[in-house]
A and B are shown apart, each in its own frame.
Chain A
Amino acid sequence: MKVYLLGIFILQLFTFSAGAQRLQTKNAEISFTSNAQLEVISASSSKAVGIINTTTSEFAFKVDIRSFNGFNSELQRQHFYDNYMETEKYPSAAFSGKIIEQIDFSHDGTYEVRAKGDLDIHGEKQTRIIKCKMVIRNNTATLDSRFLVPLVDHNIKIPKIVNQKIATEIEVIFKATLTTQQQ
């Protein structure tokens, strides 16, 4: 249901009048690392999609959980999908909201911005303010952000038996290059 709404939201952003400016991407990179005592697990995806409305500074990003690769084993990957993220019920993760700082997207430069919005993972929404470095050049925005996701915030339960192998906070790195809408 939430994904559906999110989809509508993104669609709404797409169906703007010609005056509005949009920057978008279909292949943003998200990688995460779990740095636990007994094991380090990392995976990444380069199929995240996202859009920024340069007039209102609103943004929305979404990634299909199943697009993550790179686990230590296939079994681990399956566990990730089925047990921890429960992709049957929650196939995607998303982050949408607004950019706090007033940015003039037509002005080239490097900006440190804060993205404030709802981070929706495993069906649980958390209001987050995430710092991001944004470089704007020739109507292209390159984003680089690092943040932590505490598993407890999103109701992701780790069975005791493996809790030495999975960190309580996951480091996430997000990189994206958004350009003006083609087509």
Chain B
Amino acid sequence: MEYTFRIKRYDPDVDVKPYFKEYRVDLEETDRVLDGLNAIKWDQDGSLTYRRSCAHGVCGSDAVRINGRNYLACKTLMKEFGKKITIEPLIGFTVVKDLVVDMEPFFDAYKSIKPYLIASEAPAGEERRQTPEQLERFENATKCILCAACTSSCPITWTNESFIGPAAIVNAGRFIYDSRDEGAAERLRVLNMKSGVWRCRTVFNCTEACPRDIEVTNIIEDVKRTLLLEQV
């Protein structure tokens, strides 16, 4: 079946501003959007630039905007769309080239919430105990692959560069609600700042954009409640 890919292109070496270029590609409806990008790059235009690696939705490389919504190109099949699809880089990020955006601010926000277990000495020769119920409290957040689909879908991040963004909040929640962690206060201090959770307007875009079915908005609301009630 022939599909038309309309792709936003920009190469800072030669282009003054971004432009759209169309490609016709022969694909099955069960092919991934990534298969379409590959077919263009490999058979028509090697200069088309995008990130990709695992090709099955676990590494987080290929989040892009397809027909105005964020998806992983490798976890979305052609049958989800019509014969013509428009692909753009994630918005709210600086474009490096074509569909590749600058991820550094995203990872800086992630790092700011101290995304690692903060805990006193572990018992020697055995694991810390944690019940299945205690695991369930934060397990949903552990699925995050740092693809930035949520953060880029959030309208607050489009205009407010200092907003920490949903992905960083999810990863803070992953530790705040982990029964083994003792760093909640440090993280909550970051999330309580002007750039933190209170910027969130509960638009739910992030939850819809998440390719890992993480209940992003609920986790953000959890964190807000924790800040208000001052207890985890």
To the question of whether A and B form a pair in one complex, the answer is no
Give A residues with C-beta under 8 Å from B: none
Give B residues with C-beta under 8 Å from A: none
